[in-house]
A and B are shown apart, each in its own frame.
Chain A
Amino acid sequence: MTDKPGLLAVEGISKSFVGFKALDGVDFTVRPGEIHALLGENGAGKSTLIKVLTGVHQPDAGVIKIDGQPVAMRDTQHAQHLGIGTVYQEVNLLPNMSVADNLFIGRQPMRFGFVNRKLMEKQALELLAQYDLHLDVSSDLSRYSVAVQQLVAIARAVDMSGRVLVLDEPTASLDRHETEILFAILRQLRARGFGIVFITHFLDQVYEICDRVTVLRNGKLAGSALTAELPKIDLVSLMLGRALAVATHNTRHDRPVPAIKPFSFKGLGRSRSIAPFDLDIGEGEVIGMAGLLGSGRTETAKILFGIDAADTGHIRIDGHPVLIRTPQDAVACGFGLCPEDRKSDGIIGDLSVRENICLALQAQKGWFNRLSSREQISLADKFVKALDIRTTDIEKPIKFLSGGNQQKVILARWLATNPRFLILDEPTRGIDVGAHAEIIALINRLCDDGMALLVISSEIEEIVAYSTRVIVLRDRAHRGEISGDDITTSNIMQMIAAESEGASA
């Protein structure tokens, strides 16, 4: 190997948790001036490796070297001192404090024993100017978007450590434009000689920005290569350890649109949330819903499911008028919703997989009509098997499962109620490639079984793959519908982009 010496290298790292080997003899090297993608399915050991790199966990075996010198990383502060900064998936900042406070917390410039705000804000401005960010540093961080918060977190990490930057899924909650800004900054840091570790689920981004890629699988090193020398299909099979067998080509365009549409929403809307829209859905149809973040996709789902009450419009099911003011009403009509924000609106973290699966059915059956323990267990077992939910047992709290498996549990929760109309809001966000393919296969299967589905997704290729019709949203309104052979990525993109220039910032 003729590589430059590693800035940060680990050799033969192993780490076990009680009864579980999270890392097994992993080697990993970050060189100066490179962006290094760290990939793997959920549970492959990425997070554990990062926690070892940043001093959160102590490895059971193996060495960590910085500039070729072995070091014993004591804790995160020590890691920072050695030049390793981290930005975690959930940004570790204080939204109720000012931008400047967030940048300098714990190391504010002092004068006479007080924080010298003037100096601190001046330094904050200078620091952010390096990234072409011009913010009001004295206002609360929460005023800014997640993307800006992320950039502030990066600025802080870079300023504090200065050699290696670890980013754990930084683009998970960013839209396209914001991602571009982030990438520009990463390129700039790379030019300055930083070693950057980049964890993501988006393979396109790996090819867009990363120089090298390392793949973990089941706690072991699956492979490491220069991105330019690794075709995408090989990368995917490295991650999965098997050939990918997913129908990513649309099979549904030629399907006749059903003549009878039992679910009919007319003029449904809510002020300052979503402009009134019409929607008719038939059984065995998958309606794809595309649009940028904030275009009104989630708002549509919330109104359909009664989370937010509609101001206008009316709903008919099988021709009968119904009122949906609460989720209970929606469930009574045979609706189900897998929400966008799995952690805050989906899972009940401390409850077991079994209880999470049974929850919606139990809520529907009523307080006094308890599912017996035996019924609960058989229901949970059935869905764990049917959806291939990976958990050591059904009594495990759901918070210990990986994102993809949590998503499957939420899906199981609704499938247990035997719904007629299922709304999936970003069902594949933040989950690994394997689970991703399984969820798409499941959507197709449910559709074949005659369920009506509405699927919201930011991944347009995915929408193209399973939708019978596609609705495009823009600026909090439904702007158009595409069906049949017109469902292509470029058509959808064009419709999303139409007239929205100038509003993109």
Chain B
Amino acid sequence: MIRLNTAALTKAMPQLLSLMLILFLNYLAFPGFFEIRLQDGRLFGSLIDVLNRGAPVIILAIGMTAVIASRGVDLSVGAVMAVSGALAATMTVAGYPLPVVIVAALGTGLACGLWNGILVAYFDLQPIVATLILMVAGRGIAQLITEGSIVTFTEPGLIFFGTGSFAGIPMPILIAVSLLVVAIAVVRRTAIGLLIESIGINRSASSYAGLNSKLLLLVIYGFCGFCASLAGIIIAADIRGADANNAGLWLELDAILAVVVGGTSLFGGRFSILMSALGAVIIQAMNTGILLSGFPPEYNLILKALVIIVILLAQSFSSLGGWAFLKGEFRSKGGKRQ
């Protein structure tokens, strides 16, 4: 593979250094941070907790990466999580078998994503507006499904997705990592990754080259909706209930942040799903660290903002050729040579 070379590693340096720094600070705040133990056939520890809690955002970030790379954004993923969580919980309570529940919940997420995709690709709505519609309406739909109450369930099959484990690894981590591997394989082993980058950089020129950009956008948004419903099922399973008002609240912003921290530009184009996942882990490591350190939770958001500013500045510094700048060799805007 061309992509796994030292250049890629250098590019990932700001993120890797940030993660290491945050983990180290977490260790200072809580010396037991790196301890991992096996209990009742399942791994426990703060590190495992970071990944486990971070899994929903990792999953969202995978779908969001594709959307952002196509020069779009999906604001509706939090609401879609609520819809599919509500559907899964309500259907479970109504006695539907687990496979039917899962397929229905995932199918609903896919349908929500396709709806967004149709608005963006075929009706040419701006992505931020198109997905805002479902962001607002989705919570209403979720409330209709749960009829305004928090629906709780005790069906062990569904709960397993949130709190179960396989070979010692918690299910959310397992699901997130599997999706990550499959998604990376699909975008890089097929031409889809290149074609997404192409429409993200210049949709008009891509269409002129004979690329079916509408269909591709539809698939991208559909996939993003699918990811959101997967995350929604995990969260519902974790709390053993569906809360139409709060499930996935503001998580679309965490997902977008994870993608940006991972280095994919909001202007579309080059993307890395792996780096977005790393971005999600950085965000979660921060959240966990602040909780562990015993700071009042109010500081959480402010600290998060500070850390993110530092990461983004470091990125823009290195992408603008920061070292050359220090040597007085600053080239304006990509150094057009004529």
Using a CB–CB distance below 8 Å, which chain A residues touch chain B? Answer: 17-18, 20, 22, 42-48, 56-57, 305, 307, 326-328, 330-331, 337, 339, 344-351, 355, 358-360, 362-371, 373, 399-400, 402, 413
Contact = CB atoms under 8 A, between A and B. Distances in A.
Interface in B261-311: 269-270
Interface stretch (B16-24, B42-50, B189-197, B240-248): B189-197
A362 B191 contact: yes
A370 B191 contact: yes
Given A18-B329, A373-B2, A363 B209 contact: yes
A332 to B, nearest CB: 8
Given A328-B212, A402-B338, A348 B191 contact: no
Given A344-B205, A370-B191, 6 more contacts: A18-B329, A22-B337, A345-B204, A362-B195, A363-B209, A402-B338
A18 B201 CA distance: 25
Interface string B165-207: 0000000000000000000000001111011011001101111
Nearest to A305: B208
A45 B334 CA distance: 16
A364 B210 contact: yes
Nearest to A46: B338
Given A18-B329, A331-B210, A402-B338, A359 B198 contact: yes
Interface in B316-338: 324, 329, 331-332, 334-338
Contact of A337 (B198, B208, B332, B334): B208
9 contacts: A45-B338, A339-B208, A350-B197, A350-B270, A351-B201, A360-B209, A364-B210, A367-B191, A399-B334
Contact of A351 (B2, B191, B197, B337): B197
Contacts of A349: 201-202
Interface in B209-230: 209-212, 216
B202 A344 contact: yes
Contacts of B338: 22, 42-48, 402
A369 B192 CA distance: 10
A44 B324 CA distance: 24
Given A328-B210, A328-B212, A367-B191, A48 B337 contact: yes
Contacts of B189: 370
Contacts of A344: 202, 204-205
A18 B207 CA distance: 35
Given A18-B331, A350-B270, A360 B210 contact: yes
A43 B191 contact: no
Nearest to A366: B191
Given A337-B208, A363-B211, A400-B336, A369 B201 contact: no
A346 B337 contact: no
A305 B338 CA distance: 33
Max count, chain A CB within 10 A of own CB: residue among B191, B192, B197: B191
Given A327-B208, A359-B211, A18 B336 contact: no
Nearest to A326: B212
A326 B122 CA distance: 14
Shortest 3 CB-CB contacts between residues of A and residues of B: A47-B338, A331-B210, A363-B211
Given A327-B208, A348-B205, A362 B337 contact: no
A474 B13 CA distance: 59
Nearest to A359: B209
B336 A345 contact: no
Contacts of A348: 197-198, 201-202, 205-206
Nearest to B338: A47
Given A347-B205, A365-B191, A57 B332 contact: yes
Main secondary structure of the interface of B (DSSP, over half): loop
Interface residues of B, number: 32
Contacts of A368: 190-192
Contact of B191 (A56, A346, A369): A369
Given A18-B324, A56-B332, A371-B191, A363 B210 contact: yes
Contacts, number: 109
B2 to A, nearest CB: 6
Given A43-B338, A351-B201, A367-B191, A346 B208 contact: yes
B117 to A, nearest CB: 15
A43 B337 contact: yes
B194 A362 contact: yes
B208 A307 contact: yes
A353 to B, nearest CB: 14
A364 B194 CA distance: 14
B202 A347 contact: yes
A305 B210 CA distance: 10
Max count, chain A CB within 10 A of own CB: residue among B332, B334, B336, B338: B338
Contacts of A326: 212
B190 A367 contact: yes
A22 B270 CA distance: 29
A218 to B, nearest CB: 12
Contacts of B202: 344, 347-349
B195 A367 contact: yes
A413 B202 CA distance: 15
Contacts of B332: 56-57
Contacts of B207: 307, 327
A20 B208 contact: no
B208 to A, nearest CB: 5
Contacts of B212: 326, 328, 363
A354 B202 CA distance: 16
Contacts of B194: 351, 355, 358-359, 362, 370
A371 B269 CA distance: 19
A468 to B, nearest CB: 26
B335 A367 contact: no
A76 B338 CA distance: 18
A22 B201 CA distance: 28
A403 to B, nearest CB: 9
A327 B197 contact: no
Contacts of B204: 344-345
A402 B338 CA distance: 7
A61 to B, nearest CB: 15
Contacts of A366: 191
A129 B257 CA distance: 53
A370 B190 contact: yes
A368 B188 CA distance: 10
Nearest to B267: A350
Nearest to A57: B332
Interface string B84-124: 00000000000000000000000000000000000000000
Nearest to B214: A326
Nearest to B196: A367
Contacts of B269: 350
A241 B324 CA distance: 34
A344 B205 CA distance: 6
